[in-house]
Amino acid sequence: MAPSSNPTTHGVGVRWLKHLEQENARLKKLVAERDLEIEVMKEISAMVSVPARREQVAYAAGHGLSQRRACTLASVGRSALGYRSRKAVKDAAVVARMRELSAQ
């Protein structure tokens, strides 16, 4: 009797095929995610400063990566995403005066 004509063997083969199809779908998803990460990192590789890296995270998150994964790829702490420098506001008067003096 051929293995394909045995109903019990056929059932096992169908289950195995279904398992392989599920595994293949999972692996394809992993490859697609990795390709997306590589593509995003190529596009944002020119940015290097801390504010620029925060922009990288926003860009990557906007293109389908999770914020956590984008932070890992850009080497940015997730706690640093909300940081906003107050230096520009604090030094605005001094900078304005320096511009006045340099314009003379």
* pLDDT, position 5: 56
Based on the domain organization, do 30 and 49 belong to the same domain? no
Read off the tokens for 2. Answer: 């051929």
The number of folded domains in the chain is 2
> Average pLDDT over the chain, rounded to whole?
81
Domain that holds residue 20: 1-40
Check: CB of residue 14 under 8 Å from CB of residue 22. no
Read off the tokens for 20. Answer: 């392989």
Cα torsion angle, 4, 10, 13, 14, sign: positive
Model pTM?
0.43
Based on the domain organization, do 2 and 35 belong to the same domain? yes
* pLDDT, position 29: 93
Is 70 exceeded by the pLDDT of residue 9?
no
Least confident of 27-31, 43-47, 62-66: 43-47
Q: How far apart are CA 75 and CA 69, in angstroms?
A: 10
Based on the domain organization, do 54 and 18 belong to the same domain? no
Neighbour count for residue 67 (Cβ, 10 Å): 14
Based on the domain organization, do 65 and 82 belong to the same domain? yes
Based on the domain organization, do 103 and 52 belong to the same domain? yes
Neighbour count for residue 65 (Cβ, 10 Å): 21
* pLDDT, position 44: 66
